Amino acid sequence: MAAPPTAAIEAFGARLPAAERYAAMLCGAGVERGLIGPREAERIWQRHVLNSVALAKWVPTGARVVDIGSGAGLPGIPLALARPDLELTLCEPMQRRVAFLEDVVADLRLPVSVLRARAEQLPRRSFDVAVARAVAPLERLVTLARPALVPTGCLLALKGRSVMSEVEAAGATLRSAGATVEVETPRVAGETTYVVRITWPHGATRRGSR
């Protein structure tokens, strides 16, 4: 596994050792349990950990956040490490992934909840922000996330190069709900990740600080 880049030091500060431990767990148990590919270790920071932290600036201070389809804890775990002010829940339906998440949370002593559930089973109007990475096309993701969000909530999705096609495909669904869509391309350690931010009427949120 590569050493943490400068961007990781800036993102995690005093929590960098915990972030390094998490990256090591991804490259170890994460690979062994089939949660990430064996070739991902060389780019674990840029492609996975730091790209997840790209969401941090969009999350309000002290927000209740749910990571839908958390998988190996991305983006939820890096977000929890970079923003200890957040109340974070990792939602994942598959038991083997849940077991890994529980191991990570216990090992890092994070005040993070792990919930074995499908997105449709989340309690209604319980979260300020929903985050997701590689879960579903945007149109489907909006349908999954919206019931769990408070009226002033927002959805933050990490997307790849097909992002504009997904936004276009979700257009009718978004317009019918009066949603506002913003797409940002943050540059993180050589990787380009599109952040899609969706809010609903009266759902504008202030940007938080790390």
Encode pLDDT of 131-141 as tens digits.
999 888 888 99
Q: What is the pLDDT of residues 85-125, one digit of tens each?
A: 999 999 999 999 999 999 999 999 999 999 999 999 999 99
Domains and CATH numbers, the chain: 6-199 (3.40.50.150)
State mean pLDDT over 62-68: 98
State mean pLDDT over 30-48: 88
Confidence of residue 200 (pLDDT cuts 50, 70, 90): confident
pTM of model > 0.85: yes
pLDDT at 161 over 90: no
Is the CB of residue 63 less than 8 Å from the CB of residue 203? no
Q: Return d(Cα 90, Cα 112) in angstroms, integer.
A: 7
CA count, 13 A, side-chain hemisphere, 121: 8
Q: Return d(Cα 32, Cα 30) in angstroms, integer.
A: 6
